[in-house]
Structure 1
């Protein structure tokens, strides 16, 4: 008996002096798309996940196609898309999320709602009565938006890599104002600088934008009227709940997307999701459960965006402060 006890004691002592082997944390990777709401949401998610789960969270910049591809593969190169606008991401949602598809990506149960469209400054609308997208077909109106003197107005359809860039060019063609306007595809930060200059000089500027977003706090922006949405057309939308073979929204992301598409309406309020790779359910099940339960609100998102984009708060500092001050909300999202 003494020998057995001595052996046990020696084993315990050896265990105390052997180096402890650290278990590597799971790394969760969020794909950053280039608009402010994405930046705000990804930092909120990062803070919550690192504080409540034994994981490291990395954020890398990528275009949406690359993010979807990585989530589909499930290898961990990108695990999360923080801000999926369903109106402009119908194709990947149908390919990777919808029942009967690859089902390699899931989205949170409760999306928040947003709107988008073409915006102009209030002073242009008030002085020149520009209220509809069809008013842009008038040459005298297009001149108000010609900043380089080449005889064509300019409009911003979105930033490089955004699916909306194609969609908004299709709209310009379908509404007929592409004859008098040319698209200028630059970064989100550049268009915001141009907007600031346009307001200072009281000049015209036409650009695609959305709500929620801090610009609507800082400027008097007016959304141009478009015909009402009557449904998605095209064979790829046959399984969609809003499918209508005679619908006003036909977008085909083909090689000849501009010629093959026709969009003559607005989009109703858009559901905006957080997407995550199904592989997280095995690699980090608590994280996957958390992502499924996150329930954002347009009010939260507007507040976050205003702080980082208008008040120049560091995104991670903003996120840490909000999470600390809103623990009751965060608790409802946790497993």
Structure 2
């Protein structure tokens, strides 16, 4: 009879453990939500991370769309768990959430990344081989643009030049709009916003292939940087107080400044950081060599691969890069799946 309480306790413990295991399994089956980034490098990096998480750790993942700022807000709420390419510190939404301990920027994923205003080199120097004469031979800085709106004439509103901005909803679109005002260019150039990162790329590429002048915002890492000879226009040195006026769309008197030095990281929610320490550990080690990344992005663009297919190719062709980030057992599972 003395064995009955012991047996009952064992049964209850077994039931409790089974229930706990079931709950853990249910939690594990919930997908990790990644932000569906609209630009090529971000979309590519998202798929690289997802593939390693899925095949190396066995976690389900998915992607949820949104603008840059809306994804940062969703990350702070844990509606998203990961933004694979976060230009940390750029937007007030990110800064506020980071200061509140709601989001974290992991690692330094791409060294030597940059952003700015660019023109094709032939606009300044010409191109003898293509029979292109210099169009703005003294163009060096954003201030020099005041002399050349006619060169960058907007075909739809020819009284002004055209500046190709980021798509609406990107943090950089706000900054560029404020920069146009700060540099005294908003009365000389139309602030043209493309519908997507792909549309911006297509418009710039089309102009360059026709040997036409084009003034545009762009960034690296991107396939465009590896494909064409471009010149970045000089801007004033970075100034923190001026930068604050550029990131605030409501500021009526923005001040000119070069952009905040680029630091690309993996943005994660506070809950993700606590729940998945094994993923956080290698997210902090992710390092994508910019030349290798630009080449992969150029191949993805030229062959019209979708980002996941391009990421699979990258994992097959560059194990020396990604295996340095992850534990050996994770690397072995990913390699076997390829």
- What TM-score results when the alignment is normalised by the length of structure 1? 0.79
* Distance change >3 Å, CA 190–CA 327, structure 1 → 2: closer
* Distance change >3 Å, CA 268–CA 256, structure 1 → 2: closer
Alignment equivalent of 2:140, drawn from 114, 131, 140: 131
Contact persistence 2:105–2:266 (CA under 8 A) = yes
- For 2:31, what is the secondary structure of its paired residue? strand
- For 2:108, what is the secondary structure of its paired residue? coil
What CA deviation, in whole Å up to 9, does each residue of 1:115-168 have, x standing for no partner? 111111222112121222111112xx1112112243011111211210111111
Please, what is the CA RMSD of the aligned residues?
Answer: 2.6
- For 1:142, what is the secondary structure of its paired residue? coil
Structure 2 residue 102 is the aligned partner of structure 1 residue 94: no
Contact persistence 2:90–2:247 (CA under 8 A) = no
Q: Any unmatched runs of 5+ in structure 1?
A: 1-10, 12-20, 234-247
- What TM-score results when the alignment is normalised by the length of structure 2? 0.79
- Structure 1 CA distance for aligned equivalents of residues 310 and 299 of structure 2: 7
- For 2:33, what is the secondary structure of its paired residue? strand
- Structure 2 CA distance for aligned equivalents of residues 311 and 112 of structure 1: 23
- Structure 2 CA distance for aligned equivalents of residues 269 and 65 of structure 1: 19
Structure 2 residue 34 is the aligned partner of structure 1 residue 27: no
Alignment equivalent of 2:162, drawn from 115, 130, 154: 154
* Distance change >3 Å, CA 215–CA 223, structure 1 → 2: same
- For 1:78, what is the secondary structure of its paired residue? coil
* Distance change >3 Å, CA 253–CA 281, structure 1 → 2: closer
* Distance change >3 Å, CA 26–CA 292, structure 1 → 2: farther
* Distance change >3 Å, CA 252–CA 175, structure 1 → 2: closer
Contact persistence 1:144–1:203 (CA under 8 A) = no
* Distance change >3 Å, CA 119–CA 294, structure 1 → 2: same
| Number of aligned residues | 294
* Distance change >3 Å, CA 325–CA 201, structure 1 → 2: closer
Residue matched to 1:79: 81
Contact persistence 1:84–1:272 (CA under 8 A) = yes
Residue matched to 1:122: 121
- For 2:202, what is the secondary structure of its paired residue? helix
Paired residues for 1:166-181 under 5 Å: 166-181=174-189
Q: Any unmatched runs of 5+ in structure 2?
A: 1-10, 12-21, 126-133, 328-338
Contact persistence 1:111–1:273 (CA under 8 A) = yes
- For 2:64, what is the secondary structure of its paired residue? strand
- For 2:151, what is the secondary structure of its paired residue? helix
- Structure 1 CA distance for aligned equivalents of residues 248 and 225 of structure 2: 34
- Structure 2 CA distance for aligned equivalents of residues 149 and 188 of structure 1: 23
- Structure 2 CA distance for aligned equivalents of residues 278 and 294 of structure 1: 19
Q: CA deviation at 1:321?
A: 2.5
Alignment equivalent of 2:296, drawn from 300, 304, 311: 304
- Structure 1 CA distance for aligned equivalents of residues 210 and 291 of structure 2: 31
Structure 2 residue 254 is the aligned partner of structure 1 residue 261: yes
* Distance change >3 Å, CA 189–CA 179, structure 1 → 2: same
Alignment equivalent of 1:290, drawn from 277, 282, 286: 282
Alignment equivalent of 2:50, drawn from 46, 56, 59: 46
Residue matched to 2:229: 220
